Amino acid sequence: MFFTSDNASGAAPEIMAAVARANEGFARSYGADDIMVRVKAQIRQIFEAPEAAVYLVAVGTAANALALASHCQPWGAVFAHTDAHIAVDECGAPEFFTSGAKLVPVDGAHGKMTPETLAQTLGRIGESGVHGVQRGMISITNVTEAGTVYTAAEVAALTAVAKTHGLPCHMDGARFTNSLVTTNTSAADMTWAAGIDVLTFGGTKNGCLGVEAVVIFDPAKAWEFELRRKRGGHLFSKHRFLSAQMEAYLTDDLWLRLANHANAMGGRLARGIKALPDVHLRHPVQANMLFPEWAAGTHARLEAKGAAYYQMPAPEGREGARLVASWNTTEAEVDLLLDALKS
Amino acid sequence: MFFTSDNASGAAPEIMAAVARANEGFARSYGADDIMVRVKAQIRQIFEAPEAAVYLVAVGTAANALALASHCQPWGAVFAHTDAHIAVDECGAPEFFTSGAKLVPVDGAHGKMTPETLAQTLGRIGESGVHGVQRGMISITNVTEAGTVYTAAEVAALTAVAKTHGLPCHMDGARFTNSLVTTNTSAADMTWAAGIDVLTFGGTKNGCLGVEAVVIFDPAKAWEFELRRKRGGHLFSKHRFLSAQMEAYLTDDLWLRLANHANAMGGRLARGIKALPDVHLRHPVQANMLFPEWAAGTHARLEAKGAAYYQMPAPEGREGARLVASWNTTEAEVDLLLDALKS
Amino acid sequence: MFFTSDNASGAAPEIMAAVARANEGFARSYGADDIMVRVKAQIRQIFEAPEAAVYLVAVGTAANALALASHCQPWGAVFAHTDAHIAVDECGAPEFFTSGAKLVPVDGAHGKMTPETLAQTLGRIGESGVHGVQRGMISITNVTEAGTVYTAAEVAALTAVAKTHGLPCHMDGARFTNSLVTTNTSAADMTWAAGIDVLTFGGTKNGCLGVEAVVIFDPAKAWEFELRRKRGGHLFSKHRFLSAQMEAYLTDDLWLRLANHANAMGGRLARGIKALPDVHLRHPVQANMLFPEWAAGTHARLEAKGAAYYQMPAPEGREGARLVASWNTTEAEVDLLLDALKS
Amino acid sequence: MFFTSDNASGAAPEIMAAVARANEGFARSYGADDIMVRVKAQIRQIFEAPEAAVYLVAVGTAANALALASHCQPWGAVFAHTDAHIAVDECGAPEFFTSGAKLVPVDGAHGKMTPETLAQTLGRIGESGVHGVQRGMISITNVTEAGTVYTAAEVAALTAVAKTHGLPCHMDGARFTNSLVTTNTSAADMTWAAGIDVLTFGGTKNGCLGVEAVVIFDPAKAWEFELRRKRGGHLFSKHRFLSAQMEAYLTDDLWLRLANHANAMGGRLARGIKALPDVHLRHPVQANMLFPEWAAGTHARLEAKGAAYYQMPAPEGREGARLVASWNTTEAEVDLLLDALKS
């Protein structure tokens, strides 16, 4: 019963097989491999963005930080939700890659900024001329850290606020595919059509070994991104092994199938939990992450039965948890956890 | 006939198999996987350094830049050979990760600093008090960019110069194993016993998919390195796939066997070339890289026969080349190239 | 009637005279001037800190940013009040000089952190190991941005919280002398005896042309500070003109007399305003800054009479203001403003 | 007999008087003072550049580093003479302000780059695509570190080489006025008309207390410069004291008169030295700096007579010196030094 994180799962067999297959003969290094030519075409087609610049890196933090640095000056403010990964879980990588930009937290229930909270926070920054940091860009995480999902319309409403200040808009899509599946939205509608300029398109958490695409819808930023990637130590020499993962991921809708499964398992778990007395779900369950709160003592009982997950702070007498379903979580595992909770 | 670079080769089958094997079940993320426990033990044993801190990243530029940044202040000078990878091939990654340290070139024939050139260059820096950058550290590349190899004694002579100024010493060992094989030296003797404080221990060029170990012999620097790695976007969530490569690489002397083969193919090529009239080898061939210079027109002839390699600048009427043998270069390929050259 | 800022005033005549006097003959440059020898002795004596390292720069932002950078790693969090100058009025200078540290806002009424709000905020950061930024240092502004003053005991209570986490403590004393005068406290008691490790000791706002001392109570940080100052472009060649300002400032208690006057004018203004109907002072007036809130329409009336000051946001139907008294504000000016308010 | 540096002299009386005069009443802070309005007009007129953006800082290192950072990306190479102040005397300030750009040394006799050495060095950088740093900008020091002077035609020849690569061109004019006086050239002809995009226009070494103008001929860079200046801690609150220096400096040709005098004293010294046996001048004397080399033992003799200057390295049996004449060096002092040398 492993619900710690979708990055505790391994790679989907199709993806592992593709990596093995890529290991034949010689290949041009540093992104000039043949597979990457096909990956670019795949992504441009999926996103209906024939001009988009497409790059691969192995780590989500790198994808985010490079995307931000390519769109925000050192004296810029990056507006993101208070709990955003870039703000709290990357050890200052955005500050490092941007040479010192400031992350400005935007509030909002269930991990989501609202046009109102964003507008209000934007209004507080950049009004003092040269004395304060300048409005730089916004970053929207979808799926959010709370496991909730922005619809394309909600994304568009946020980017509309940003655009009134001329700000570029980033989406941290470490779990991007899960958000598409939840909302039954196309990749294009969730991104450039909704005002997103640059996307971290995650593969790692959804069944790859370690690969994230950065999709830049305005190719004018492409060369700067390439230099930043190299300078950041994120340009792979044997790049084919990144390309192969992404190619397999995008072939035959594997990316969608994997996310669909993870979301389904999240939903099954949520339905089961909702039926239990004395367990409260802190956030709506819209993808593959759940944040239950239950009576004190439950952790010990679940641990004894072999359940693994992150514990979260909770009020006196209660316990909090984060449960993440993955591309390879089974119904049996879900049901085992539910049984353990019931007992 | 692929001699462009050892990073145009794929991964050795043992290593690819290990990656596939690692893809079973759940594993703790971010370097807490069980395989990494074994990798640390392997490296500490091989280097006879039970206290060493050991970390994995996927890219050599990252390994170098993080190693430098953890040992050199922003106002420090990093002394390295004029042609060092860190100085000319990493798009300023060392400057980026150190927040602005200065690479100071040290001359020397055949890609090698000498105690004299190093001492002389060290003497020119840091004498003007607060007005100039301070002596920071040195970095020795072994195998060098010219395909030559420092012996452990030569390394010790360089670090001795550095230590008179109290400077930490880094070794860029992207081709570290090749240097051990050439000199028949132990990993310990080539590193800490010769005054090296931190090593980039390359796997990628020698048959891995993409993995480099950073070995820090003074564990006091370990935590800073971990923070810099995370902040640089170089901490893998599915870290097991890095660990598995390194474990297989170090098992049953695979690392030594692969490098031994690459060096042997380099030697075979060198012997063949030396027998040819009108071809000159610019540097002694001591590992798997050769820098021949031949008559104009040869490139076209070789290309027509399917040979791939980098062209280098050359005087009027001549042509230069860089040929790199790899862990999977075959004798047949070497002989084909020699035949092509002869014809 | 100028109440815009204490930096809109010029320099006290004693200080200007000292600058003119310093302009005789040749002097060693870059801080090696004879006057600086005396300034160091003065400051060490005033602060009862014979080992303190003492440096001069011309701008408060530089003093703060250099002090922070010398005590906080790039991955550190700097805890300061939400409204602190370093957080909102320096265009990201702390982020720039520290190579990307994160400013973490600490709440508190009237511009003051409390041990509780500080402890609570400290508790939220640095608990996620390598994934989040680390607790770095704290910075206390005295006089605060709200014109209130921390007593030495209050400072000690904050540094005690910081010290439980081993954090260095900075004081932004742009208006340090005003805080001493208000609390009748010695420079030593307000700083190192209360747990402060490094102080920005302001001169500019209190009658100098442009000089701030950085006082580092742990001299182990001195050389790093010198390098950062030079590298930041803040080491003056004709340093004597900074030294001369500071020497005159500290001679015959001029610094205390000037701050005493500014505070007295602030107090006179506060007493007058409190006697007015329909004017509210947002914060206790403890030094030379007042934040009145009055009926809409007052701004226009005051402006017509020649009053100059900053306007602040206010609720519907009200107007806000910031009034700053200076070392050369006269009783007549204060009374004129009060008359204008009454009419 | 003070010949250590022109920054060991104080300020010209006209400039000191202007500073004292500026100390009247209140003034808008942060560069919005009335004097600065006039300074901008003066500089635009002198440079025949009605659109130029004009800023003041107090320190030459800051002026240079901010000018470079506003025109060069972090992955850029800054091409400057091997001995340039920005390369060897600013403790890495350019690297710090640019977030890690690389200073690439260009050779040339007597402190001067030539179109050939510049073109050759430019040709070595930026040819390896994403793997190396990119060509960023060039910086020309006039007067050079060797005391020689570029003519406007020589400047134009260098910028022409840079412009073939589309690079912006900076001039470090810490002793800019001395170069104009030597060559009898207008400020416009030496700068924008010769291809210079941004100038550090020094005041400090030529009779000011501490002020340097940065003149940006393409005003599109102005706002970025303002943000970098603030963020670098170089925006003065009591800015009027910088403005007043610059206004007086530029009034009634004071700047030209001061530099003319310094150059004349340099020339007088040079003529006297040339007449001496056994003294060699290493570089042509074209402004106010001389680099004599004389017999061992001379230093001791001169020191005994009270001469102060920097000693320079020299071959066995010889001694080297740097002598700098200043705006207030007297003929008597020059003659005293010559007498001391003769004896």
Average pLDDT over residues B300-322: 96
Please give, rounded to a whole number of angstroms, the shortest distance from the CA of B284 to a CA of chain D.
24
C-alpha to C-alpha distance for D190 and D232, rounded to whole angstroms: 28
Chain B's closest residue to D128, CA to CA, is B89
Please give, rounded to a whole number of angstroms, the shortest distance from the CA of A186 to a CA of chain C.
32
Please tell me the predicted confidence (pLDDT) of residue B248: 98
Given a contact cutoff of 8 angstroms between Cβ atoms, the answer to whether D237 and C210 are in contact is: yes
Given a contact cutoff of 8 angstroms between Cβ atoms, the answer to whether C142 and C185 are in contact is: no
| Full-model pTM | 0.97
DSSP result, B240-269: HHHHHHHHHHHGGGHHHHHHHHHHHHHHHH
DSSP result, C75-89: TEEEEEETT-HHHHS
**D99 phi, psi to nearest 5 deg:** 60, 40
Please tell me the predicted confidence (pLDDT) of residue C1: 85
Q: How confident is the model at residue C208 (pLDDT cuts 50, 70, 90)?
A: very high
Peptide bond into C54 cis (omega under 30): no
Longest Cα pair distance anywhere in chain C, in angstroms?
62
Cβ–Cβ gap C132/A99 under 8 Å = no
| Gap between the terminal Cα atoms of chain B | 16
| 3-state SS track over C25-68 | CCCCCCCCCHHHHHHHHHHHHHCCCCCCEEEEECCHHHHHHHHH
Q: Any bridge partners for residue D273, and if so which?
A: none
* % of chain C beyond a pLDDT of 90: 97
Please tell me the predicted confidence (pLDDT) of residue A13: 98
Cβ–Cβ gap C103/A102 under 8 Å = yes
Q: Say yes or no: C310 contacts chain B, CB-CB below 8 A.
A: no
String of b and e for A57-92 (b: at least 16 CB within 10 Å)? bbbbbbbbbbbbbbbbbbbbbbbbbbbbbbbbbbbb
Q: Which residue is it, tokens 């027509």?
A: B304
Please tell me the predicted confidence (pLDDT) of residue A342: 92
* Residue of C3, C4, C21, C23 for testing the chain D interface, max D β-carbons within 10 Å: C23
Q: Average model confidence (pLDDT) for chain A? A: 97
**B243 phi, psi to nearest 5 deg:** -55, -45
CA nearest to C138, candidates C161, C120, C110 = C161
CA nearest to A213, candidates A177, A256, A262 = A177
Cβ-Cβ contacts under 8 Å, D84 against chain B: none
C-alpha to C-alpha distance for C51 and A330, rounded to whole angstroms: 66
Cβ–Cβ gap C100/A88 under 8 Å = no
Residues in chain C: 343
Q: How confident is the model at residue B319 (pLDDT cuts 50, 70, 90)?
A: very high
Cβ-Cβ contacts under 8 Å, C91 against chain D: 227, 230-231
C-alpha to C-alpha distance for B148 and D285, rounded to whole angstroms: 47
Cβ–Cβ gap D128/B89 under 8 Å = yes
Query: What is the three-class DSSP state of B316?
Result: coil
Residues in chain A: 343
Cβ–Cβ gap D132/B89 under 8 Å = yes
Q: Between β-strands C76-81 and C102-106, what pairing exists: parallel, antiparallel or unpaired?
A: parallel
**Residue ranges in chain D modelled with pLDDT below 50:** none
Least CB-CB distance to C241: which of D5, D209, D236? D209
Scan residues 132-191 of A and list those with Cβ closer than 8 Å to C.
132-133
For chain B, domains (ranges, CATH) are 13-252 (3.40.640.10), 255-342 (3.90.1150.10)
What is the enclosing helix (H) or strand (E) of C319?
A: strand C318-324
Cβ-Cβ contacts under 8 Å, D74 against chain A: 99, 231
Q: Say yes or no: A126 contacts chain C, CB-CB below 8 A.
A: no
Q: Say yes or no: D286 contacts chain A, CB-CB below 8 A.
A: no
Given a contact cutoff of 8 angstroms between Cβ atoms, the answer to whether A111 and A83 are in contact is: yes
C-alpha to C-alpha distance for A39 and A249, rounded to whole angstroms: 10
C-alpha to C-alpha distance for A259 and A300, rounded to whole angstroms: 30
Average pLDDT over residues A236-249: 98
Q: How far is CA D245 from the centre of its chain?
A: 17
Least CB-CB distance to A92: which of C88, C89, C133? C133
Reported ipTM: the value is: 0.97
Please tell me the predicted confidence (pLDDT) of residue D128: 85
String of b and e for C31-42 (b: at least 16 CB within 10 Å)? bebebbeebbeb
Please tell me the predicted confidence (pLDDT) of residue B336: 97
Q: How confident is the model at residue B107 (pLDDT cuts 50, 70, 90)?
A: very high
Q: Which of A125-134, C330-339, D160-169 bottoms out in mean pLDDT, i.e. has the lowest?
A: A125-134
What is the enclosing helix (H) or strand (E) of D264?
A: helix D254-274
Task: Note the pLDDT tens digit of each residue in C121-159.
Answer: 999 998 889 999 999 999 999 999 999 999 999 999 999
Q: Say yes or no: B122 contacts chain C, CB-CB below 8 A.
A: no
Cβ–Cβ gap D75/A231 under 8 Å = yes
Q: How confident is the model at residue A65 (pLDDT cuts 50, 70, 90)?
A: very high
Task: Note the pLDDT tens digit of each residue in C228-246.
Answer: 999 999 999 999 999 999 9
Cβ-Cβ contacts under 8 Å, B99 against chain C: 74, 99
3-state helix, strand, coil in chain B (%, to 5): 45, 15, 35
Residue B343 has pLDDT above 90, yes or no: no
Please give, rounded to a whole number of angstroms, the shortest distance from the CA of C323 to a CA of chain D.
14
Cβ–Cβ gap A75/C92 under 8 Å = yes
CA nearest to A290, candidates A321, A259, A336 = A321
Average pLDDT over residues C104-119: 98
Q: Which amino acid is at A220?
A: A
Peptide bond into A143 cis (omega under 30): yes
C-alpha to C-alpha distance for B255 and B108, rounded to whole angstroms: 29
Residue A1 has pLDDT above 90, yes or no: no
- Residue A131 structure tokens: 């004395």
C-alpha torsion angle, residues D145, D150, D154, D158 (rounded to 10): 30
Cβ–Cβ gap C130/B30 under 8 Å = yes
Q: How far is CA C336 from the centre of its chain?
A: 28
Q: Say yes or no: B85 contacts chain D, CB-CB below 8 A.
A: no
Sign of CA dihedral A149, A152, A158, A162: positive
Q: Average model confidence (pLDDT) for chain C? A: 97
C-alpha to C-alpha distance for D264 and B130, rounded to whole angstroms: 32
Distances (CA, A) of D310 to B130, D7, D295: 16, 13, 16
Cβ-Cβ contacts under 8 Å, A95 against chain C: 74, 95, 100-102
Cβ-Cβ contacts under 8 Å, C227 against chain B: 73, 75, 130, 134
Residue B127 has pLDDT above 90, yes or no: no
Task: Note the pLDDT tens digit of each residue in B22-79.
Answer: 999 899 999 999 999 999 999 999 999 999 999 999 999 999 999 999 999 999 999 9
Q: Say yes or no: A126 contacts chain D, CB-CB below 8 A.
A: no
Cβ–Cβ gap C91/A103 under 8 Å = no
Average pLDDT over residues A244-271: 98
Cβ–Cβ gap B131/D89 under 8 Å = yes
Chain D's closest residue to B98, CA to CA, is D100
Given a contact cutoff of 8 angstroms between Cβ atoms, the answer to whether B169 and B67 are in contact is: no
- Residue C251 structure tokens: 């001679």
CB proximity list for C9: less than 8 A, separation 6 or greater: C2, C207, C326, C327, C328, C329, D26
Please give, rounded to a whole number of angstroms, the shortest distance from the CA of C21 to a CA of chain D.
10
Given a contact cutoff of 8 angstroms between Cβ atoms, the answer to whether B222 and B216 are in contact is: yes
Least CB-CB distance to C209: which of D59, D92, D241? D241
Given a contact cutoff of 8 angstroms between Cβ atoms, the answer to whether D283 and D291 are in contact is: yes
Distances (CA, A) of C217 to B116, C157, C188, C224, D114: 42, 19, 10, 14, 50
Residue A149 has pLDDT above 90, yes or no: yes
Q: Say yes or no: B91 contacts chain D, CB-CB below 8 A.
A: yes
Residues in chain D: 343
Please tell me the predicted confidence (pLDDT) of residue B126: 82
Query: Which chains are within 8 Å of C by 3+ CB pairs?
Result: A, B, D
3-state helix, strand, coil in chain D (%, to 5): 45, 15, 35
Given a contact cutoff of 8 angstroms between Cβ atoms, the answer to whether A323 and A289 are in contact is: yes
Average pLDDT over residues B260-266: 98
Q: Say yes or no: D335 contacts chain A, CB-CB below 8 A.
A: no
Q: Say yes or no: D6 contacts chain B, CB-CB below 8 A.
A: no
Cβ-Cβ contacts under 8 Å, B92 against chain D: 74-75, 100-102, 133
Average pLDDT over residues B307-321: 96
Cβ-Cβ contacts under 8 Å, B130 against chain D: 91
Please give, rounded to a whole number of angstroms, the shortest distance from the CA of D202 to a CA of chain A.
24
C-alpha to C-alpha distance for A299 and A293, rounded to whole angstroms: 10
Please give, rounded to a whole number of angstroms, the shortest distance from the CA of C115 to a CA of chain D.
30
Alpha helices in chain C (DSSP H): 13-22, 34-46, 60-69, 85-88, 93-97, 115-124, 152-164, 176-183, 187-190, 222-231, 240-250, 254-274, 298-304, 331-342
Chain D's closest residue to C210, CA to CA, is D238
Q: Label residue A187 exposed, middle or buried (CB < 10 Å: 0-12, 13-18, 19+).
A: buried
